[in-house]
Amino acid sequence: MAKIDAEIAAVVRYIFSFAVGIGLIYYFRRYIISFIKSQKLRLFAWTLNRFMTKINKILRKEKETVFRHLDSLCEKLGHPLTVLEVGSGPATNFDYYPRRTEIVCLEPNPYFKSYIEQNAHKHKNISLSRVVQGFAERMDYLEDSSFDAVVCTLVMCSVRDPRQALDEVKRVLKPGGIFIFVEHVAAREGSFVNKIQKMMNPVWKTLCDGCNLTRNTAKYIQNAGFSDVNIVNFQLQWGFRLLTLFIRPSIYGYAIKGTRI
Ligand SMILES: C[S@@+](CC[C@H](N)C(=O)[O-])C[C@H]1O[C@@H](n2cnc3c(N)ncnc32)[C@H](O)[C@@H]1O
Ligand SMILES: *[C@@H]1O[C@H](CO)[C@@H](O)[C@H](O)[C@H]1NC(C)=O
Ligand SMILES: *[C@@H]1O[C@H](CO)[C@@H](O)[C@H](O)[C@H]1NC(C)=O
């Protein structure tokens, strides 16, 4: 009998601790969820820092081509540029800015801040004015007509509302200011690659922080009300061709607000 009692007591203790455990988890669920979410963002920042450094090398030629527009704008204006970089990530673009450019980095993921600052430290020829935590769709803390240029590389695929984001880009640009971009985009509607993109999109979007494979970014830029739009299609050459087919179709170019300077 004593043995059975001891066993029952053990089971009761077990159930009790289990219930207390569940209760604690339930009570602290908000903290636990926010902890997991922040760790996810931290992991994204860490992985993207490595990954974007690699992609940056592959995109060097295209980036140099679009950033040359900043050099000529800087020459024409005769003073250092003030630039907003939207979704800067770890700030792999710091290599390309004209000397003495003053840059504001806008980035929703707070865990990029230290990478951005480290990169700024390595680039003494530019100046990082500040890092703002925020989303492209709503930049109301940035004044109208306050930047000579806005830069976006591989960001439009991830914003929630590209139309609103582009409206904001145009709003913060000075008249005559330039928007430069390099983006991966949806393949031609009906093509084999487009079918793969559509098939992979739901999983991809979850795994890659909201990145949408089938976004027709060129169309959004063309319809955003810029006066002069120039878009070039190219294929991003990275990884093993068959495995990366769906993320190869890309564009680079520029768009100007109002009359060109
Ligand atoms: C693929 S990374 C590109 C990073 C960097 N521009 C580069 O080329 O190395 C996409 C970046 O966009 C940011 N992002 C996602 N949604 C955004 C939004 N709504 N507004 C601004 N940035 C966003 C992500 O946090 C991430 O840093
Ligand atoms: C600025 O410095 C960085 C790092 O030293 C270099 O990669 C980049 O080419 C420089 N840019 C200019 C315009 O001199
Ligand atoms: C991807 O973007 C396109 C165009 O902006 C949109 O029509 C589509 O619904 C988006 N797909 C997902 C999975 O969000």
Q: How far is the centre of ligand 1, averaged over its atoms, from the C-alpha of 120 (Å)?
A: 18
Is 261 part of a structural domain of the chain?
A: no
Question: Same domain for 169 and 247?
Answer: yes
Q: Is the pLDDT of residue 6 over 70?
A: yes
What tokens were used for 19? 């219930």
16 class by beta-carbon count within 10 Å (0-12 exposed, 13-18 middle, 19+ buried): exposed
Partners of 254 in beta bridges: 180, 230
Ligand nearest to the CA of 122: 2
Does residue 164 surpass a pLDDT of 80? yes
- Do 103 and 13 share a structural domain? no
CATH number at residue 114: 3.40.50.150
Q: What is the Cα 47 distance to its own chain's centre? A: 13
DSSP-derived secondary structure for 34-85: HHHHHHHHHHHHHHHHHHHHHHHHHTHHHHHHHHHHHHHHHHHHTS--EEEE
State whether 20 and 111 are in the same domain. Answer: no
Examine the domain organization and report whether 57 and 161 are in the same domain. yes
At residue 247 the predicted structure's pLDDT band, cuts being 50, 70 and 90, is very high
Boundaries of domain holding 29: 2-40
Q: How many domains does the chain have?
A: 2
Its sign, for the CA torsion 58, 230, 167, 102, is: positive
> 49 and 117 in contact (C-beta within 8 Å)?
no
Q: How would residue 18 be classed by pLDDT, with cut points 50, 70 and 90?
A: very high
Both 247 and 123 in one domain: the answer is yes
Residues 51 and 33 in one domain: no
pTM above threshold 0.95: no
Average pLDDT over all residues of the chain? 96
Residue 136: CB within 6 Å of ligand 1? yes
Closest ligand 1 atom number to CA of residue 59: 8
Q: Give the confidence band of 1 by pLDDT, cuts at 50, 70, 90.
A: low
Judgement on whether residues 159 and 57 belong to the same structural domain of the protein: yes
51 CA distance to ligand 3 middle (Å):
24
> Between these two residues, 119 and 209, which has the higher pLDDT value?
119
147 shares a domain with 59: yes
Do 20 and 147 lie in a common domain?
no
Q: Kindly identify the ligand whose nearest atom is closest to the C-alpha of 96.
A: 2
135 and 148 together in one domain: yes
The rounded Å distance from CA 211 to ligand 1 centre is 9
Ligand 1 centroid distance, CA of 26 (Å): 33
pLDDT of residue 242: 85
**Residue 209 belongs to some domain of the structure:** yes
